Structure 1
Amino acid sequence: MVVVGAGMAGVQSAVALREQGWTGRVTLIGAEPHQPYDRPPLSKAVLLGKADGSAFDIDFEALGIELRLGLEVRGVRSSAHEIDTASGPVPYDVLVIATGAEPIMLPGSEGVPGVHLLRTLDDAARLRPVLDEQHDVVVVGAGWIGAEFATAAREAGCAVTVVEAADRPLAGTVPAEVAVPMAQWYAESGARLLTGARVARIEPGQVVLDDGTRIAAGAVVVGIGARPATAWLAESDIERGPDGAVVADDRLGTSLPDVYAVGDCASFPSRRYGERLLVHHWDNALQGPRTVAANIIGETPQSYDPIPYFWSEQFGRFVQYAGHHASADTTVWRGDPSGAAWSVCWLREGALVALLTVARPRDLAQGRKLIGSGAPLDPQRAADPSIPLKSATL
């Protein structure tokens, strides 16, 4: 058994195989030299110097999992059942692809001094002095990672300007009516948010927008999205979609026999939502490996059809999201979005398909169960924040 990728999805795949009874060899290959680690703390405790790292608390030796770290993987030769690496071929009987996602670079910014990403432990280590020295920071992109970094930078006392090309934050994630109240959080925190603003170029000490505006920048952090880290599969026979993701089936198997794909690098068909999903979130990397292990080891095939879930801590708020709202036909608000705690629910043909909550964890917990059950909701009762969501069913 060979698992390529030593992030959450890869580590959990290796562990799940052992937990479910795999007795053969397990080799876990990672591109980074560090002991495998969790990523969410990078934009929080690690970035702010409250923790030195976030290594998984797993005894790989005791589990009989061989770690091969700092090893670049270059391709798959399916006919020979082997992986091509910088140190030579690695044979496999079964292969799990879990290489995650890689950040999208701002055109023209690669190699420019003072420009940073926030994806790896090394990225966080390079950014800690920026916060310690309270540089003026420009964040390019008002998505989840941009908001989380802006939060940390403000907490550290930096002056922060966030530049977003769209007309609102989280433009590719939530509808405008949901994003608009969230835009106010930037100003409340002391960060400046510029929407409809595009970066023309980055010069020493400043960011130049396409309208000629110049913004002082002791450091620039780019958070404009991520794509599946699958370029190394370009010469293989493994099918990838237009988004670059490995095309997995409902069992997380790929177009090649004995090859599976899980986590941020793979899309899968969702029966619940009637479309193929590509989920770049921690919970997917945690849940998918259990299905992969079960389908490798077990005699009864298991389908993977999760309720997507993620969370974000930003500007003093805990935001959670569950489901997939693209096919919703009704939006129901619970509470005042200008207040400290509120939720928004998306319904399709009367049933809850997704919800976003701000400081309302009970709504999230109950909502996930309602999405799973498909029970119809009474929109009027669901709109009353004093009524438990579970009590709004018809």
Structure 2
Amino acid sequence: MSENVVIVGAGTAGVQTAVELRGQGWRGGITLLGDEPYPPYDRPPLSKAVLLGDSGAGPVDVRFDIDFGALDVELRLGVRAGELRAGARELVTDQGPVPYDRLVLATGAYAVELPGTQGLAGVYPLRTLDDALALRPVLEARQRLVVVGAGWIGAEFATAARQAGCEVTVVEAAPRPLAGVLPASVTDHMRGWYEEAGVELRTGTAVAALEPGSVLLADGGRLPAEAVVVGIGARPASRWLAGSDVALGEDGAVLADDRLRTTADGVYAVGDCASFPSARYGRRLLVHHWDNAMQGPRTAAANVNGGDERYDPVPYFWSEQFGRFVQYAGHHTDGDTMVTRGDPAGPAWSVLWLRGEQLVALLAVGRPRDMTQARKLITRSAALDPLLAADPSLPLTSVVRRPAA
């Protein structure tokens, strides 16, 4: 009898794993389990097209254009995993046990809630299709909104809300936007983006409580709010694995190795739920972005098929906010040298980070050519001339240090 692979999670990572398994020659059974009632769908449009009504009223408009029947993939929706019995190679779900020979964990992540707000009317996360559909009438009514969190999702939602004509205030507990991601010399210039868009940005201000029609701040201030959108991060959807043979990190991520194998025999993990060791950056990475959910399944599928491939990508993501296309590739630390290309007060500029002279990361705002070149240069660990790299008129490929003869 042929072996079967069960994939837990029908988001991008889970769907792509099924596609890759078939594309790489897996002849056994494939069962794809999703906990939502909708056919698998693409997540990036949720904070843009779906919110503003550009994709129609239903999930069909954002679902993946994949014929699961033609792939011979059994798709089961509305199935929630509850326990993993790795020794018996059995997954316990709310619809009964599901046996497997190989298991791929692709459960994604869940939106972090403000303490004490679970189930509170007028408070919304933005992670799932149901979240986006619930927020559409809020935008259509042009309600007065408070967004908690000035991260990527908070900025994207604020952008959509302003396009819809809403009055928007963004509240951030940290002293600046994206404080945990980018240095102050970069994010200070992003403050002006909010102002240009007509969004009030309050930083260094935590939310103390939510009351009917208002948000109470820790400094004693009060903001009127007909609706509150919470964008304060996401956590791996892995709590159901506690106590199993699958080891979890302190951040809740499934601890995969560089082949995307977990600590349980025959179990792999991909996407937002898993971290992996990066030889390129010398640390374990947890990457909550679409590109990781697309790349990881190629490696996982190859190894499920008996291969021995390592996973060590150059992380990449993008964000569209306040009329700007923002891209980031790689991974940097405070110890890396930052080089700015162009004027951050202008419409197009980029920042790169060097470790010694090796390019390890780049942030591009309206400079897609820099990003295209940087991703290739980071992949091959290219060294750059720092002085020449600061000249925005020079292509990055032209400032690569040539090896000594």
Deviations 1:114-141 (A, max 9, x none): 0000000000000000110000000000
Instruction: Determine whether 1:229 maps to 2:237.
Output: yes
**Aligned-pair CA distance for 1:91:** 0.1
Match of 1:241 in 2: 249
**Aligned-pair CA distance for 1:94:** 0.1
TM-score by length of 2: 0.96
Structure 1 stretches of 5 or more lacking a match? none
Instruction: Determine whether 1:82 maps to 2:86.
Output: no
**Aligned-pair CA distance for 1:235:** 2.6
Deviations 1:140-182 (A, max 9, x none): 0000000000000000000000000000001111111111101
Instruction: Determine whether 1:49 maps to 2:78.
Output: no
Q: 2:357 aligns with which of 347, 350, 356?
A: 350
Match of 2:110 in 1: 102
Match of 1:324 in 2: 331
Given residue 301 of structure 2, which amino acid in structure 1 is its aligned partner? A
**Aligned-pair CA distance for 1:212:** 1.5
* Whole-Å separation in 2 of the counterparts to 1:91 and 1:327: 46
Instruction: Determine whether 1:370 maps to 2:377.
Output: yes
Secondary structure of residue in 1 paired with 2:70: helix
* Whole-Å separation in 2 of the counterparts to 1:79 and 1:2: 15
The answer to whether the 8 A contact 1:3-1:29 is kept is yes
TM-score by length of 1: 0.99
Given residue 366 of structure 2, which amino acid in structure 1 is its aligned partner? A
* Whole-Å separation in 2 of the counterparts to 1:12 and 1:326: 31
Q: 2:34 aligns with which of 26, 30, 50?
A: 30
Q: RMSD of the alignment, in Å?
A: 0.8
* Whole-Å separation in 1 of the counterparts to 2:336 and 2:148: 32
The answer to whether the 8 A contact 1:328-1:346 is kept is no
The answer to whether the 8 A contact 1:328-1:353 is kept is no
Secondary structure of residue in 2 paired with 1:153: helix
Given residue 221 of structure 1, which amino acid in structure 2 is its aligned partner? V
Given residue 167 of structure 2, which amino acid in structure 1 is its aligned partner? A
Q: Identity, % of aligned pairs?
A: 66
Deviations 1:276-295 (A, max 9, x none): 00000000000000000001
- The alignment of Structure 1 onto Structure 2 pairs a total of residues equal to 393
What pairs with 1:1-394 in structure 2 (closer than 5 Å)? Answer: 1-52=5-56, 53-298=61-306, 300-326=307-333, 328-394=335-401
* Whole-Å separation in 2 of the counterparts to 1:58 and 1:15: 9
Secondary structure of residue in 2 paired with 1:61: coil
* Whole-Å separation in 1 of the counterparts to 2:267 and 2:86: 9
Deviations 1:227-253 (A, max 9, x none): 000011013111000000000000000
Secondary structure of residue in 1 paired with 2:353: strand
The answer to whether the 8 A contact 1:75-1:235 is kept is no
**Aligned-pair CA distance for 1:328:** 4.7
**Aligned-pair CA distance for 1:275:** 0.3
Secondary structure of residue in 2 paired with 1:60: coil
Structure 2 stretches of 5 or more lacking a match? none
**Aligned-pair CA distance for 1:112:** 1.1
Given residue 335 of structure 1, which amino acid in structure 2 is its aligned partner? G
**Aligned-pair CA distance for 1:329:** 2.3
